[in-house]
Structure 1
């Protein structure tokens, strides 16, 4: 077996592996704060974008979050089922999807405002 320090392909030498572990660790810190709100971390990111910019077209939301439409669509469907967002065809362009917040989605923002300081506290 090759010494990990000398092996350029050693797992522990990979930046992508370190970033992947760090990302999972940070998302795990968010989980207990998001669960009472009924949100996953990807859904939280969608809500953050909508709280800041709603209403948005599906295309703009996809670009803003750097998610492909195939990944974004199920997130929006679950948020709609939870009563937080509304998806409607744009009256000006039937091909375009308009995403807006419902009253419940807007109200959820008050709970979410507690998350950033709690994350800073937990991460030190």
Structure 2
């Protein structure tokens, strides 16, 4: 009987330690795991087609090609996205704050897809003061 009581006590102590360990993981830790996974996915390969569209209060959209035919964009670990086109290089600073929000070239964008599930397309949308800016990144 005494042995069973000691075993139960140790089981309760181990369960309490395990529970304390699980409870000590904050939501921030869980969010960072998703952010790190998303960051690894966007850095994994090159992006070939990148189009930025800006619309002012329902007006005619203006389109700017950031990466066109023969060019590539790479998100690097130094928090710069480099565009390589025919010997020329342009860089844009970026920060992936969460797996649903990115700061790209000084503007905060909401990520439209689940980066973890979709690896061929990344859509960023920024709505500020009646101006909607959308950037679509595509892989081939």
TM-score (norm 1): 0.30
Greater strand content: 2
TM-score (norm 2): 0.27
Greater helix content: 1
